Structure 1
Amino acid sequence: MGLILSVWLNGRAADSIPSPSTVFPPLAVPTSSRLALTLSSSAVPPGNKRSHWSSHHRSPHFQLSPCKQEVTRSPAELSSDGVRAEVGVESGLHVWEITWRPEHRGSHAVIGISRQDCPLQDLGYKVLLGGDSLSWGWELKTNKLWHGGKILACYPCESRRLHPPAAEGFRLKFLNPLHRKETETPLLIPERVQLVLDADAGTLGFAVDGSFLGVAFRDLPSGVELFPAVSSVRGGARIELRYLNGTTRNPPALMALCGLSILQNLGHQRQNQVDKLPLPPLLHHYLLSCF
């Protein structure tokens, strides 16, 4: 059966329709099977408490929606304001989606994680999340990573932001000024960003347009509750939080890994053809219901 399925998949590969390309797929990095399964699994119901912003741990300039899944920053001058999720995690691998339209960001728009006692308001316009040792933030407008009040790096890193032909033959320091300027131009981050927190490994990364961009922060504190968080200085900014999925540190089940392998070979454009695979109906149902 395995050989038949492999031949069928390889034989149909030429019929696949390429998925829409953006700037982010070339920047994607390989993921572990644990993360790949989590990113490809169906999202939990939207009413999950991990999708709620906290009604207590927020700046008074952030107003919550009745469902607690959206916050709106009220117009306020010379103030930097933050809010964190109602529920944090101490272990496991977890993925949240933050929806924040680019036109509602302004300057100093930051997403990331924080500890429970992270400051959520300060005077002036500044990067609040990542502005101290209790939080880690990705500033969307500049693509900079912040922690401890310092810029740590550009994310995605410069070496992966070269166009593929340039990346093959030249190092960044040998590029002419025109190419150097092009690679240093911040990427426009779309409205939906997935926050990927592996509390077991102590890492935080982000996924955009279905592409995991790699680990942004390492050596996060272990055994400490960590919360998704955002900070903003723009009046009228509306930010949504949705918990997508999570898993424990246990190895993935073999059946789930097999299902993931099948769907990866099919590709996004052909996943509606699962029922045509040379598999028993029970396995058709499993693939359709789990992914």
Structure 2
Amino acid sequence: MGLILSTWPRGRVDDDVPPSTTVFPLLAVPTSSRLTLTLSSSAVSAGDRRSQWSSQHCSPHFHLSPCRQKATRSPVELSSDAVRAEIGVKGGLHVWEVSWNPDHRGSHAVIGISKQDSPLHGSGYKVLIGGDSLSWGWELKTNQLWHGGKPLDCYPCEKKMLHSQATEDFGRKSSNSRHRKEPETPLVIPERVQLVLDADAGTLGFAVNGSFLGVAFRDLPAGVELFPAVSSVRGGARIELRYLNGTTRNPPALMALCGLSIIQNLGEQRLNQVDKLPLPPLLHRYLLFCF
């Protein structure tokens, strides 16, 4: 299955993307056809139970909306709080989207996955998801990966190499300062982040603005139920969960691969011309509603 992409055909973000987020295509890594299809396929219904936070696996300082897709943290001091999804997975490739306003994150804002027994509350301000051996997290403020209570590498891995180049390319450095070494600053992670869990391969990665940033964690436990999870210390932080799509370990169907190839060749600027292709109406509908 030889299709490889670093940016999938139709991003799941708003069309009006701020210039500061255009650095992410430079950090994208190629994806397999299985992942590309999963990322580019239409999202499942917003009412899917896999889009819900759990009312049982939730810190008492998180309050859920009636639909349980939004979790809001109470303004409690000296407390770290987490919430897990209602439904976890033991196999397959799955993609969730976490929406979290950058202005409402504060410090220790973490997204990732956890087992069912990972702690959901702690005293003081600290990383919870990734703060033990039962969870794996990405701290959005510092770009640091966490597991086993320890900070690991920065993520994405290529950030150190490409960040200064990217900021030059997008005009964030003046011509007089291009030869002056400047301290590295964390990337500003936008509101929407896709969490990509391949339970079959035992990997967790993240995608931003249509760009898959690569594998963040490997060797995740096999056959163990894993749940999307977040932790926060900021009062008023509102975090929304949306399950987008998933697939089994089986190879992609030939029809899906052909459809993806057509969409790729059309390009994003010509997606509205699908109905003009010399194809039967049934295939027009397939391309319009499945990608």
Q: TM-score, normalised by structure 2?
A: 0.86
Q: CA deviation at 1:159?
A: 3.1
- 1:88-237 counterparts in 2 under 5 A? 88-157=88-157, 158-163=160-165, 178-179=180-181, 181=183, 184-237=184-237
Residues 193-252 of structure 1: per-residue CA shift (max 9 Å, x gap): 000000000000001001100000000000000000000000000000000000000000
Residue 64 of structure 2 is aligned to residue 72 of structure 1: no
Give the whole-Å Cα distance in 2 for the aligned partners of 1:148 and 1:186: 22
Q: Which residue of 2 aligns with 1:83?
A: 83
Residue type matched to 1:212 in 2? F
Bigger drift between 271-280 and 251-260 goes to 271-280
State the 1:90 CA deviation. 0.2
User: How far 1:166 moved relative to its partner?
Assistant: 9.1
The SS at the match of 1:161 is: helix
Matched to 2:208, the amino acid is: V
In structure 2, the residue matched to 1:10 is none
Structure 2 spans left out of the alignment, 5+ residues: 1-15, 170-177
Q: How far is 1:135 from its partner?
A: 0.4
CA deviation map 1:39-67 (0-9, x unaligned): 00000001111111000111100001100
Shift of 1:279: 2.5
The answer to which structure has the higher helix fraction is 1
The answer for the alignment partner of 1:271 in structure 2 is 271
Counterparts of residues 12-23 of structure 1 (less than 5 Å): 22-23=22-23
**Number of matched residues?**
263
Q: 3-state DSSP class of the match of 1:91? A: coil
Contact 2:130–2:147 under 8 Å retained in 1? yes
Deviation at 1:177, TM superposition (A): 8.9
Change in CA separation of 1:220 and 1:178 when aligned onto 2, cut-off 3 Å: farther
For structure 1, the residue ranges without an aligned partner over 5 or more in a row are: 1-18, 168-175
CA positional deviation for 1:32: 0.5
1:286–1:142: structure 2 CA closer, same or farther, 3 Å change rule? same
Q: Is the 8 A contact 2:99 2:193 kept in 1?
A: yes
Counterpart code for 2:217: F
* Residues 178 and 76 of structure 1: CA distance in aligned 2, closer, same or farther (over 3 Å): farther
Find the counterpart in structure 2 of residue 4 from structure 1.
Answer: none
Map of 2:47 onto structure 1 = 47
> Structure 2: which amino acid aligns with 1:159?
M
Aligned-residue RMSD, C-alpha: 1.9
* CA positional deviation for 1:278: 2.8
Distance 1:223 1:254 in 2: 28
Task: Give the Cα separation in 2 of the matches to 1:120 and 1:189.
Answer: 24
Q: CA deviation at 1:281?
A: 2.7
**Percent of aligned positions that are identical:** 78
